[in-house]
Amino acid sequence: MDTWYCNRAPDIVTKDSKSMIHPFIVKGYKGLTVNPYQGCQHRCGYCYATYEWSPQFYDKIYAKSNAPEVLENQLKSWKSKTIKPVMVSSATDPYQPAEIRYGLTRKCVEVLQKYNVPYYIFTKSTIISRDLELHKRYKNNCFLVWSVTTCSEKIRRVIEPGTPPANSMFSAIRKFTRSGIRCGVNVDPILPLITDSEEDIESIVDSCNRSGVDYVFGAFLRLRVDIWERMQIILKLLGVDNGLDIYRKTIYKFTEPLKPCYNIAASVCYSSKVLQHLKGKVLEKGMLFDFPEFLEERHIKTSKNNHHNINDTKRQVTLARYM
């Protein structure tokens, strides 16, 4: 198993990609995604993007050095006159440390803007602050989402040792909300017995509120065989008494061995109480417990069809539907 819990710097290598924009389906809803990197230096133990066929996910990062050119070529020859919002990124953090050196996410975003493509950014990083002005000039056509799991430094150092502390993330978020850019926080995944106490939830909601965030959402951890292996270590490292048994018998209700690629959701009986508490606190602070539906399918600006009205809309693909 790949070791996420260490301070080792990853190898970063470049590679060429043949295709950069891909269809993306979650729960039956379709969208598009762009991943300028493969692998992720943030080292989240609960990461869903670590599959068995990516054994060096945390330790070998691929920078797709031709990403902006390939993306531009794909958009230039786009078959349809319209394009759905693009998620940047679905299987890596687009603003992980490699971005400082390669700037591929920035260049891909510039291409998306050039072709009038709406986008969502998903990150846990503060490096995105470098691109404040870039996103600001496109603020009506983008939505930035930070994934925040805990305000506890003790817990963060174990579960996601490569991420910045929550207070740094919230300082970065504040810069964006003050610039009029729409920002959300996704409290995801909520880790049972680790980050799901009332105090944990309230501390994140209070920080969201102080940072000017309007939209908050959350979801519970889903277990998969490789995630369960890492979660067992996390529960032990954090000294969660009886954690393994409670996960097996009460919260996720499974027997081992788990089948590969099989996802298990937390029991509704357990998760709904926590999610209701999160929702209640979010609404109490005047924020929305949802993601907005303002990003719409747009007419793509290519040399052939850049005369179209960009406000023309078709079926909306919303962030909530991606979740």
Q: Does 47 bind ligand SF4 (CB under 6 A)?
A: yes
User: For ligand SF4, which stretch binds (CB under 6 A), given 6-14, 23-31, 44-52, 192-200?
Assistant: 44-52
Q: Does 42 bind ligand SF4 (CB under 6 A)?
A: yes
Q: Which string of DSSP letters, residue by residue, matches 139-199?
A: GGGEEEEEE---S-HHHHHHH-TTSPPHHHHHHHHHHHHHTT--EEEEEEEE-TTTT-SHH
Backbone angles phi, psi at 250, to 5 degrees: -110, -45
Place of tokens 């097996």: 248
> Segment 157-176, which members bind ligand SF4 (CB under 6 A)?
160
**How long a stretch of residues is the chain?**
323
Q: Does 230 bind ligand SF4 (CB under 6 A)?
A: no
> Segment 89-128, which members bind ligand SF4 (CB under 6 A)?
92-93, 124
Strand partners, 17: none
Q: Does 188 bind ligand SF4 (CB under 6 A)?
A: no
Backbone angles phi, psi at 218, to 5 degrees: -160, 160
Least CB distance from residue 262 to ligand SF4, whole Å?
Answer: 19
Q: Does 44 bind ligand SF4 (CB under 6 A)?
A: yes
Backbone angles phi, psi at 236, to 5 degrees: -70, -45
User: For ligand SF4, which stretch binds (CB under 6 A), given 37-45, 229-237, 246-254, 287-295?
Assistant: 37-45
Work out the burial of residue 8: count CB atoms within 10 Å of its CB; fewer than 13 is exposed, 13-18 middle, 19 or more buried: exposed
Indicate the residue among 115 and 176 with the shorter CB distance to ligand SF4: 176
Q: Does 64 bind ligand SF4 (CB under 6 A)?
A: no
Q: Are 159 and 133 a contacting pair, CB within 8 Å?
A: no
- What distance in Å separates the CA atoms of residue 42 and residue 24, rounded to the nearest whole number? 23
Indicate the residue among 49 and 134 with the shorter CB distance to ligand SF4: 49
Indicate the residue among 42 and 299 with the shorter CB distance to ligand SF4: 42
> Segment 264-323, which members bind ligand SF4 (CB under 6 A)?
none
Residues making contact with ligand SF4 (CB under 6 A): 40, 42-44, 47, 49, 92-93, 124, 160
